[in-house]
A and B are shown apart, each in its own frame.
Chain A
Amino acid sequence: MLEPIHVSLESLNLITLAPMLIAIAGGLIILILDLINGKLHKSLYVMMTILILFIDFGAVLGLNINERGFFDVMLIDGISIISQLMIIGGSMIFIPLALTSKRFHEYSYPEFFALFLFMISGFQFMVATDNLILIFVGIETASLALYTLIALHNRSNSYEAAVKYFTMGALAAAFFAMGSAVVYALTGSIELYKVAEVMATRLNETGLMISIFGSSVLLLAAFAFKLSLFPFHTWAPDVYEGASAPLAGYMSVIPKIAAFVVSIRLFGMYIDLGVEWIRIVILVMAVLTMTLANIMALVQNDVKRMLAYSSISHAGFIMAALALDTTEGNTAIFLYYGLFMFTNLGAFTMLWISRHKKRMFGERYDHPYEKFAGLVQIMPIGAVLMGIFMLSLAGVPPFSVFWGKIYVMQATVNAGYIWLAIVMGLNSAIAAYYYLKLIVYMFLKSPVKDVDTVYYNISRPLMVIIGLATVATVTAIFYVQPLLSYLYYMVSASGY
């Protein structure tokens, strides 16, 4: 006869689940609203999404640090809180991009917003646990929702992007599952803190290194796909190109934050165990990622593809910080993404407002450089703002990404990797060229087509978003200190 299981409600600590449940409930509310009245305008759904995310944000802020809950599956430590805050905050500023003046297919479905919220809950599950199965569930929830969101854009290359992303994502998921299986076979546990304990005791056994090697290779491959690291980055530019600009911008930041948190947990563990070669592999991948992506970005003809490669290169930059495995290095990841988010938001929004139903500049690309030629004459303020975003991405002070960059480099030098800092410096110099290319087109060339081609989609909400991105990019110098000390405190409180 089975023993009845006695679980007190308090020991479950259900509050740790609250943020995800809010997002899921919010998604359901949106679906119910649609059932009741099918003719509601997208602006309502956008605002509902923002409000639900606001509650979600508040719920995360209210969590205590270093708690476990729900059969010890949930782990609320510092990095899970800051990453959830960044995910929610980032989603809140990206979703208003649905409010364009022209109608786009995907936003007329309330399912878009429901899926968006489900996706966020998936990311939140990913970062708020150290249980490999729940991480897997989180990854899959988020990814499946994201594939659908991409495909909803209703264009042939959106389908291509979604299918490509789906295939690659499925492969990555398989790698992750296999890696986790090896970890479980080694240690009999799927909770990382127990895994670390068991591995530490068994590290000296002969023959075990092979299995540890196998598990880490599989996991590394899985996350290299998710983080678009070399040589698993090839899907990224096509997917970014096929997805709508807001989603592409979103994909270059938010899913990566979630994947980085899991990477910190996983690979930080391996490095702490003294598996030194994984650090070397990560460093090599990081250096190759930033360098090759930079070189590829140089030869792109399309601004969106250029930004895709540039965000791969930025991911490589941050991956190098991960390999340092110092508190500063881990803080740098969050600081960099926090600052990068706003600049990228601005740049992709500028692409979004110039989006057309038809391709007006040749058959192949949506946003070729020629489209922005002479923008300073057509839309001076837009050109100046886009110029600021490009300079920020290139790492010109005092714009936001510079402070992230300098902190990463400071952490690198501090960890004793001078050569890495020099590689980063040289890569920033290469990167300057392709950002500059867009500036040259905007400021120094003459327009090629009619005047109304560029600011086609603009609406007041989009202007507000661009304004927000600009303010955050330009005034970074004033808020870096409080942001940094908060992030540093949270990262060090969770012991990374």
Chain B
Amino acid sequence: MDNILSILVFFPAIAGLLGFVVDKDSARAYGITVAAIEFILSLWLWFSFDTGNAGMQFVELIPLIPDMGISYYMGVDGISLFILLMSTLMTLIGMASMGETKNIKNMIVTLLFLEMTMVGVFVALDAILFYLFWELSLVPMLYIIGAWGGPLRVYASIKFFLYTFTGSLIMLVGMLFVAYIYHNLTGVWSFAITDWYALVLPVDYQLWLFAAFFVGFAIKVPMFPFHTWIPYAHGQAPTIGSVILAAVLLKMGTYGFIRFSLPMFPDASVMAITPIAVISIIMIIYTAMIAYAQKDMKQVIAYSSVSHMGIIMLGLFAMNAEGLSGSVFQMLSHGIVSGALFMLVGMIYERRHTKLLSEFGGLTAVMPKFAIIFGIMLMASVGLPLTFGFVGEFLVLLGFYQVSPMMTILAGTSIILGAVYMLRVMKLAFFGPLNNEENKKLKDLNARETWSLIPLVAIVIWLGVYPKPVLAPIDNSVKALLTFMDEKAITDEAKDMIKVAKTSTSTQEAK
């Protein structure tokens, strides 16, 4: 199946359309089945993926609007493959563990459309196609937050939409300008990213364009000081909304940096290392401190995920294979771990209808399974060795150490600070005396909840112990990217900064 990417994109969309017809009592089973098929299809993509090939695979190219240079252009490489897999996995698990019962059919249909846009973003190789899926992904999320969220849901959903929409329109102008430069040089319009890669831009153009794309991506990541929408979005969103938002939608921003900013503007990226590193360190430390001060369990995880996105951003701008691979790997681990943590918080919220830490304490006694799984995920989030979270974080710090040891030390506090606020959650919620009467009657996880979390626990441990199957293809594509950036860079500083790896050291170290 050479056109498996199209199938992956349109299968959930068609299923979503047909889902309108399905009876509402069966909607949930329908959704889970569709998501499972989609996940199996994406696994198939992985197995038929040639891990030795660093370039784009399963490429499809159909011109749609040749006069504007817009085409239906898709492909997948080692970087996008695993983010795609994570998206389909998290949609499946999120749906399976979902406790929502209100308007369940609308929720399933919305999630299926959302899945289409998520897969679409990660496989699009045409800038307009990318933009199309990027913008479309806002609509289902708006609906999920707005219709199933907490008391401030409408405000939160509009804030989420307008923030991202504004940023992406600036990005669109940037895209148009790149296409215009391409048009000036070659005489034809093209929005194909691979065509754009061939452009060698003067440094001042690169800086402006980098800024335009930066606005779009940074709001999505979200980078300090554009992060203010995320506490509202997470605070008000239903569990499934937070899971998808943290696991996948935020990754769109960091993925955008890899796909667009780094290869297209290598010199500007090198110049941006220091400012971005400073912002990332602010994100890491400042949001970790905010996380520590939160009274609400969900907000702790929301802020911790901003903090972890700081690590990912730092890795992206390390300009060497360790940093970049670690960063991509951290995207995966953050997606799975924070998704799982949001699911866990959602489960306790369904039982108690509160997320306040002060309401809990001593839960280990009544909910042992819950406490164990929460503990594992918490350790992974902190970055304990032999868990999923460690590999990426370690590689990022290792990579950035070559850029600036001082900043790396500051960024390394993330592990300490992460442990501080996470263990505080652990202490307040799970240990201590079981004082609250209401907590004594709490039921432990039921079969559905347990079985939707077990695969995540398995992945967290498996990839923490043996990351090579995932890390090797990522590393492969990352190295190709770095070689390409190095060739393309025009300033000497950029050529010095971008380290082209010769041997695959990173995978060995990770083990």
Contacts and interface: CB of A to CB of B under 8 A. Distances in A.
Nearest to B155: A440
A407 B183 CA distance: 14
B282 interface: no
Contact of A421 (B67, B128, B146, B176): B176
Contacts of A445: 154
Interface in B187-205: 189
A448 interface: no
B135 A397 contact: yes
Contacts of A403: 65, 68
Interface string B156-184: 01100110011001101100110110010
Interface string A439-457: 1100111000000000000
Given A398-B132, A429-B166, A443 B146 contact: yes
B65 A432 contact: no
Contacts of A485: 67
Contacts of A477: 64-65
Contact of B153 (A376, A421, A426, A444): A444
B143 interface: yes
A477 B71 CA distance: 10
Contacts of A428: 169
Given A409-B176, A422-B173, A436-B161, A397 B154 contact: no
Given A421-B176, A426-B169, A406 B128 contact: yes
B7 interface: no
A428 B173 CA distance: 12
B161 A414 contact: no
A421 B162 contact: no
B59 interface: no
Contact of A409 (B64, B139, B173, B183): B173
Given A397-B128, A397-B135, A443-B147, A421 B68 contact: no
B455 interface: no
A396 B135 contact: yes
Interface in A407-465: 407, 409-410, 413-414, 418, 421-422, 425-426, 428-429, 432-433, 436, 439-440, 443-445
Contacts of B179: 410, 413
A183 B187 CA distance: 40
Nearest to B65: A481
B176 A413 contact: yes
A425 B136 contact: no
B151 interface: no
A212 interface: no
A170 interface: no
A436 B158 contact: yes
A410 B176 contact: yes
Given A421-B173, A421-B176, A480 B65 contact: yes
Interface in A331-384: 376
B146 A440 contact: yes
B66 A425 contact: no
Contacts of A436: 142, 158, 161-162
Contacts of B173: 409, 413, 418, 421-422, 425
Interface string B116-138: 00000000000010011001101
Contacts of A426: 166, 169-170
A470 B490 CA distance: 49
A321 to B, nearest CB: 14
Interface size class on chain B is 35 or more
A406 B157 contact: no
A436 B155 CA distance: 12
B154 A444 contact: yes
A429 B165 contact: yes
Nearest to A377: B103
Contact of B183 (A414, A444, A478): A414
Secondary structure dominating the interface of A = helix
A406 B176 contact: yes
B147 A410 contact: no
Contact of B136 (A396, A439, A440): A396
B4 to A, nearest CB: 22
B280 to A, nearest CB: 26
A407 B128 CA distance: 12
Contacts of B142: 436, 439
Contacts of A114: none
B362 to A, nearest CB: 38
Given A407-B68, A436-B161, A397 B153 contact: no
Nearest to A420: B173
Given A425-B170, A443-B146, A410 B68 contact: yes
Nearest to B166: A429
B409 to A, nearest CB: 40
Contacts of B189: 410
A398 B130 CA distance: 11
B491 to A, nearest CB: 24
A126 interface: no
Contact of B67 (A409, A440, A488): A488
A440 B154 contact: yes
A480 B153 CA distance: 37
A413 B67 contact: no
B162 A418 contact: no
Contact of A425 (B68, B146, B147, B169): B169
Given A409-B176, A426-B166, A440 B158 contact: yes
B162 A432 contact: yes
Contacts of A396: 135-136, 138-139
A413 B177 contact: yes
A48 to B, nearest CB: 38
Interface string B31-66: 000000000000000000000000000000000111
A484 interface: yes
A233 to B, nearest CB: 24
Nearest to B176: A413
A403 B65 CA distance: 10
A391 interface: yes
Interface of B: 64-68, 106, 128, 131-132, 135-136, 138-139, 142-143, 146-147, 153-154, 157-158, 161-162, 165-166, 169-170, 172-173, 176-177, 179-180, 183, 189
27 contacts: A396-B139, A397-B128, A397-B132, A403-B65, A407-B68, A409-B173, A409-B176, A410-B179, A410-B180, A413-B173, A413-B176, A413-B179, A413-B180, A418-B177, A421-B176, A425-B173, A429-B166, A429-B169, A432-B165, A433-B162, A440-B146, A440-B157, A444-B154, A477-B65, A481-B64, A485-B67, A488-B67
Given A429-B162, A429-B169, A444-B147, 19 more contacts: A397-B135, A398-B136, A403-B65, A413-B173, A418-B173, A422-B173, A425-B170, A425-B173, A426-B166, A429-B166, A433-B158, A436-B142, A436-B161, A440-B154, A477-B64, A480-B65, A481-B64, A481-B65, A484-B67
Closest 8 pairs (CB-CB, A-B): A397-B132, A425-B169, A429-B166, A444-B146, A481-B65, A413-B180, A425-B173, A413-B176
Interface of A: 376, 391, 396-398, 403, 406-407, 409-410, 413-414, 418, 421-422, 425-426, 428-429, 432-433, 436, 439-440, 443-445, 477-478, 480-481, 484-485, 488
